[in-house]
Amino acid sequence: MFLWYMKNDAHYDRPEIYDQFYGPLKTLPDWFMKEISGKPEILELACGTGRLSIPLSQSPERSVTGLDISEGMLNLARKKADGQKVNVEWVQGDMRQFELNRKFDTILLLFNSISHLHRRTDVEDCLSCVKNHLRSNGVFVISAFVPAVSILNRDPEIRQNFMEYIDPDNGKTVQVTDSYRYDPSTQISHITHYDGDSDHVIGGLNMKKYFPQELESLLHYNKFQIDKIFGSWDQDEFGEQSDHQIIFAKKMS
């Protein structure tokens, strides 16, 4: 029981394939960088292959630490950073339990990485670590999709095309389909990736869906206060049409 929980999701087992899909996505926009300007010591939790940490560290006034649980994801991050001669400190660790013996101006938990925290106690442990590592005037930023009922309602029997990648082992193009099963009792979406239309499972991930009021309560009862919240990566105001929740929080004084 709960074996899927003990282990990092298979989605992250092949970092070079992860990067083929997510690598080309936009990095942090200018308005976001303005929000964190003057807060140059940055910790990115769940930094993965450095998609965000590497560009963040390209400015000499910033120092960036990237923390991730996956050795493979971090190895690829290191390799990419070496090629770009940037200075990021990579730390293998669990965002629920880390001690870096220093404080930061900015702590980031972006692009749905909070969905890897499945239980209330996971969130509490993570927030406690964030609190210990954030300066009193520091900012903690979380971004996650607003759960969309149309997606949560997906028929688990129906496959959809997810992505295409070139297999680095043999140069062949693989078309990935996925199935999606949302469990309302745990609020976890179980996503399985298949090789084309076959039943051959090639990966998957289990994402806890966080609703806006729930995130607000979790932050509040763990002594964080929301300063600003945006509804998209275009900096739209947060509201009923929003598909994202981009939350800038600070420690309660």
Ligand X SMILES: C[S@@+](CC[C@H](N)C(=O)[O-])C[C@H]1O[C@@H](n2cnc3c(N)ncnc32)[C@H](O)[C@@H]1O
Binding mask 83-122 toward ligand X (x if CB under 6 A, else -) reads: -----------xxx-------------xxxx--x------
Look up tokens 């282990």; give the residue.
7
Q: How far is the CB of 169 from ligand X (least distance, A)?
A: 21
Q: Which residue from 115, 143, 149, 109 is spatially nearest to 245, judged by alpha carbons? A: 143
Pick one of 4, 40, 58, 69: the residue that binds ligand X (CB under 6 A). 69
231 touches ligand X by CB under 6 A? no
Pick one of 42, 43, 47, 141: the residue that binds ligand X (CB under 6 A). 47
Structure tokens that stand for 23 in this block? 């690598």
CB nearer ligand X, residue 14 or residue 116:
116
CA dist 208 and 126 (Å) reads 15
CA dist 69 and 178 (Å) reads 24
Q: How far is the CB of 73 from ligand X (least distance, A)?
A: 4
Q: How far is the CB of 112 from ligand X (least distance, A)?
A: 6
Residues 193-222 that bind ligand X (CB under 6 A): none
Residue nearest to ligand X (CB): 48
Q: Is 142 exposed, middle or buried (0-12, 13-18, 19+ CB in 10 A)?
A: buried
Residues 6+ apart with CB under 8 A from 94: 69
Structure tokens that stand for 110 in this block? 């972006």
The residue ranges that bind ligand X (CB under 6 A) are 8, 12, 22, 46-48, 51-52, 68-70, 73, 94-96, 110-113, 116
